[in-house]
């Protein structure tokens, strides 16, 4: 059983686990569902008003419902995107971003405090991995943002700080908790998971046959370039990654999406666009019929430490046109929250920097 500050972590539990826990306190089974739906609406033990005061007191002695606290909240004047810096029980901070789309409100959540993967352009990985998030901390971001906004969140993308497949078991547990009809009821079809390409875990995910959308952070079409910006490529190269994508599609029938960050002078020339089209077609369709994919082009968000700069608007447009003309479905990602430092890891990074300067 997971604990927080020595108490049972109720928000990480599913209904059967809650039943077992409450049974030890002499409670009937149906209490579990009550507690579960209160928690998933953002209510802590004190506020569970259809449960006797006595039981609430008893519960509080041995258990807690821990939501992340809003440390900072930035609202974009351009498009209403909201960026949260959430505080965790041990003083660590993570980021989540609330975005409004036509198809519903979407939240981008973090999966770890920091990240072990070392991608050269990414702010989240500077300083490495601090720790992985529990199921409650993954879920808590959705609940806390929904409660704070007072609007239903219908879609989730796991594209914030961290590598979700490096936190595999907790991510799977989170997916089942968030899809529970007694709670938020957000099904797999409304969830995207982005990975830098942990091949063994992609295969494991495929075996669970969930209907989530897999998003692959590719960022380069040849091993030399990819290894120079993504150390994970030294372990699993592009060929092995695209093989895993094929297996994932065969198992789930879900379209796969590829992220390609455009870095000026590094991977953004017309030659690279042609190479990308070739690599995808060759790597994915070699022994199978073409299946639906989509390439998201993202002009790199400049991170001071990386020294990389954004491709020009013209280069981005041209890159996109070439892919489409070669039969690869590609679009340029619309930038939301441009005025609030909304890209991955930058707010946490700014806070850590400010804290360390204050210490000096
Ligand atoms: N670890 C996962 C998910 C987190 S990052 C992954 O690698 O996919 C989410 C996406 O943002 C990834 O595609 C990542 O490569 C990209 N990203 C990270 N830093 C970026 C930056 N500075 N500019 C543009 N995209 C970035």
Give 209-251 pLDDT, tens digit per residue: 899 999 999 999 999 999 999 999 999 999 999 999 999 999 9
What pLDDT was estimated at residue 344?
62
Residue 301 has pLDDT above 70, yes or no: yes
Residue 158 has pLDDT above 70, yes or no: yes
Is residue 204 part of the annotated active site? The answer reads no
% of the chain beyond a pLDDT of 70? 98
Centre of ligand 1 to C-alpha 126, Å, is: 13
- Looking at residue 310, what DSSP letter applies? B
Burial of 285 (0-12, 13-18, 19+ CB in 10 A): middle
What is the average pLDDT value for the chain, to the nearest integer?
93
What pLDDT was estimated at residue 305?
81
Which pair of structure tokens corresponds to residue 170?
């907790």
What pLDDT was estimated at residue 285?
79
Whose C-alpha lies nearest to ligand 1, atom 8?
195
Centre of ligand 1 to C-alpha 159, Å, is: 7
Catalytic residue among 95, 137, 163, 259: 95
Whose C-alpha lies nearest to ligand 1, atom 5?
159
Which is nearest to 141 in space by CA: 77, 88, 207? 88
Catalytic residue among 115, 245, 320, 344: 344
CA angle centred on 86, ends 98 and 15, rounded to 5°: 85
How far is Cα 279 from Cα 20, in angstroms, rounded to an integer? 51
Taking residues 20-34, report their average pLDDT: 95
How far is Cα 264 from Cα 234, in angstroms, rounded to an integer? 23
More confident residue, 209 or 50: 50
Helix then strand count (H, E) for the chain reads 11, 15
Is residue 344 part of the annotated active site? The answer reads yes
pTM of the model: 0.95
What pLDDT was estimated at residue 136?
98
What pLDDT was estimated at residue 359?
64
Mean pLDDT lowest among 78-92, 180-194, 235-249, 297-311:
297-311
Task: Catalogue all structural domains in the chain, each as residue range(s) with its CATH number.
Answer: 3-64 (1.10.150.530), 69-359 (3.20.20.70)
What pLDDT was estimated at residue 352?
79
Whose C-alpha lies nearest to ligand 1, atom 1?
163
């Amino acid at each position: 059983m997971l604990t927080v500050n020595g108490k049972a972590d109720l928000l990480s539990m599913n209904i059967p686990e809650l039943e077992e826990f409450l049974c030890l306190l002499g409670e009937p089974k149906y209490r579990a569902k009550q507690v579960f739906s209160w928690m998933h609406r953002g209510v802590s033990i004190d506020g569970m008003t259809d449960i006797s005061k006595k039981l609430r007191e008893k519960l509080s002695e041995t258990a807690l419902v821990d939501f992340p606290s809003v440390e900072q909240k930035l609202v974009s004047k351009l498009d209403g995107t909201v960026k949260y810096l959430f505080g965790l029980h041990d003083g660590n901070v993570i980021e989540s971003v609330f975005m409004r789309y036509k198809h519903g409100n979407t939240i981008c959540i973090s999966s770890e405090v920091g990240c072990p993967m070392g991608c050269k352009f990414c702010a989240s990985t500077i300083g490495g991995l601090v720790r992985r998030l529990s199921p409650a901390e993954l879920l808590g971001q959705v609940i806390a943002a929904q409660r704070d906004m007072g609007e239903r969140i219908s879609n989730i993308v796991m594209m914030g700080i961290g590598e979700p497949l490096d936190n595999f078991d907790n991510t799977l547990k989170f997916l089942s908790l968030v899809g529970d009809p007694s709670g938020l009821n957000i099904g797999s079809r409304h969830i995207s998971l982005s990975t830098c390409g942990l091949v063994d875990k992609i295969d494991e995910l495929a075996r669970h046959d969930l209907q989530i959308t897999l998003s692959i952070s590719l960022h380069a079409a040849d091993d030399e370039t990819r290894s120079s910006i993504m150390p994970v490529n030294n372990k699993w190269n592009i060929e092995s990654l695209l093989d895993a994508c094929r297996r994932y599609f065969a198992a789930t029938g879900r379209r796969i999406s590829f992220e390609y960050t455009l870095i000026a002078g590094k991977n953004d020339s017309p030659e690279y666009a042609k190479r990308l089209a070739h690599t995808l077609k060759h790597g994915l369709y070699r022994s199978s019929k073409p299946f639906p994919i989509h390439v998201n082009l993202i002009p790199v968000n400049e991170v001071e430490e990386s020294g990389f700069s954004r491709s020009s608007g013209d280069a981005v447009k041209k890159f996109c046109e070439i892919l489409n003309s070669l039969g690869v479905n590609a679009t340029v990602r619309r930038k939301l929250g441009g005025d609030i430092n909304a890209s991955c890891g930058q707010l946490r990074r700014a806070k850590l920097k400010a804290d360390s300067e204050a210490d000096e």
